[in-house]
């Protein structure tokens, strides 16, 4: 099964999930969308559209463009994160499939993968941000000589680091007033809450969880939520790079308090 979506799809809370013309590749994707709530806006659904067509499965050179790969990853990530609490979905496998595609895009052309941060602008802010950080972390982790398994864990962490505040990110992206106290609390606590949600989704990879927990920590101890001090940084960036937590010796303590085994 391969069919183009005739209009954008949103979840029951109105959060953007997938863009118009995204290709649904399997019945399981349809089931996951319906389970979480899949809605179209009336104004968009009534626009003149072409009849959805079945896409012929043919491998073409353009299918392997890093731009195309990462655009597809962005749409699939929205569906996967929205179904993190679905017991019928193997969340780890779904995320690792996206990790493999990001690695493939970075390996094929690192420059194009990096350019995707500026060229690919469709989709929700929160999902695009996670993919951007995953690409940056993947490129830098690859340069650092990390083992393949650790490399994958870092990218997986980047894709899921804000799991607990996807909806809030969308609100803040449009908000033109100062943060409320409740929003500040949500932001401060989201690393721990994201770890808890990942554990609930049966994620057991300690490095993955460790990176999510520490992705806002800073080398001088002024980060959050645990204010880890003297973090050894293996990956540096001016953006929120998940790789900074790779060799943080104190993250284990924080993980213990978050019930990581």
Consecutive sets of 10 residues in the chain, 261 residues long: mean pLDDT of each?
A: 64 62 65 60 50 45 76 93 92 96 91 86 84 88 76 92 92 91 94 96 92 81 74 37 43 45 39
On whether both 79 and 28 belong to a single domain, the answer is no
CATH number of the domain within which 222 lies: 1.10.3210.10
* The dihedral sign for the CA sequence 133, 135, 137, 139: negative
Per-residue pLDDT, 12: 63
Same domain, 68 and 51: no
Residues 114 and 68 in one domain: yes
Res 161: pLDDT: 93
- Asked which of 10, 31, 58 is the last residue of a domain, the reply is 58
Are 82 and 47 part of one and the same domain?
Answer: no
46 and 100 share a domain?
no
Predicted pLDDT at 130: 92
The predicted pLDDT at position 35 comes to 63
**Domains contained in the chain, number:** 2
Domain containing residue 249:
59-257
Same domain for 65 and 163, yes or no, is yes
Q: For tokens 């770890």, what's the residue?
A: 195
- Burial (CB < 10 A; 0-12, 13-18, 19+), residue 153, is buried
Burial 13-31 (b: 16+ CB within 10 A, else e): eebbbbbeebebeeeebee
Which of 13, 30, 58 is at the close of a domain? 58
Domain end point (choices 16, 35, 58): 58
**Predicted local distance difference test score (pLDDT) of residue 18:** 63
How far apart are the C-alpha atoms of 201 and 219, rounded to whole Å?
A: 30
**H helix or E strand, kind and range, residue 213:** helix 206-213
Please indicate, yes or no, whether residues 173 and 67 belong to a single structural domain of this protein. Answer: yes
Same domain, 28 and 131: no
CA distance 31 to 51: 22
Domain match, 37 and 164 both: no
- The reported pTM is 0.70
- Is residue 21 domain-shared with residue 71, that is, in the same domain? no
**One domain for residues 16 and 39:** yes
Which of 58, 159, 147, 150 has its CA nearest to residue 99? Answer: 159
Same domain (yes/no): 142, 178: yes
């Amino acid at each position: 099964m391969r069919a183009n979506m005739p209009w954008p799809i949103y979840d029951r809370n109105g959060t953007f999930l997938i863009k118009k013309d995204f290709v649904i590749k399997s019945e399981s994707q349809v089931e996951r969308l319906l389970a979480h709530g899949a809605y179209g806006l009336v104004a968009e659904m009534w626009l003149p559209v072409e009849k959805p067509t079945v896409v012929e499965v043919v491998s073409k050179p353009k299918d392997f463009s890093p731009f195309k790969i990462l655009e597809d990853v962005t749409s699939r990530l929205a569906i996967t994160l929205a179904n993190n609490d679905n017991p019928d979905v193997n969340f780890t496998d779904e995320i690792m499939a996206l990790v493999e595609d990001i690695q493939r895009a970075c390996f094929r052309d690192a420059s194009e993968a990096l350019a995707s941060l500026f060229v690919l602008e469709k989709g929700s802010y929160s999902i695009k941000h996670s993919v951007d950080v995953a690409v940056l972390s993947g490129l830098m982790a690859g340069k650092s000589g990390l083992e393949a398994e650790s490399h994958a864990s870092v990218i997986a962490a980047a894709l899921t680091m804000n799991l607990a505040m996807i909806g809030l990110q969308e609100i803040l992206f449009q908000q033109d007033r100062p943060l409320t106290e409740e929003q500040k609390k949500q932001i401060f606590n989201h690393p721990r809450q994201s770890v808890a949600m990942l554990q609930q989704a049966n994620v057991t990879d300690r490095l993955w969880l460790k990176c999510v927990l520490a992705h806002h920590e800073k080398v001088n101890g002024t980060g959050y939520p645990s204010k880890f001090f003297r973090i050894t940084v293996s990956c540096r960036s001016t953006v929120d790079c998940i790789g900074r937590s790779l060799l943080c010796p104190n993250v284990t303590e924080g993980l213990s308090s978050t019930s990581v085994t």
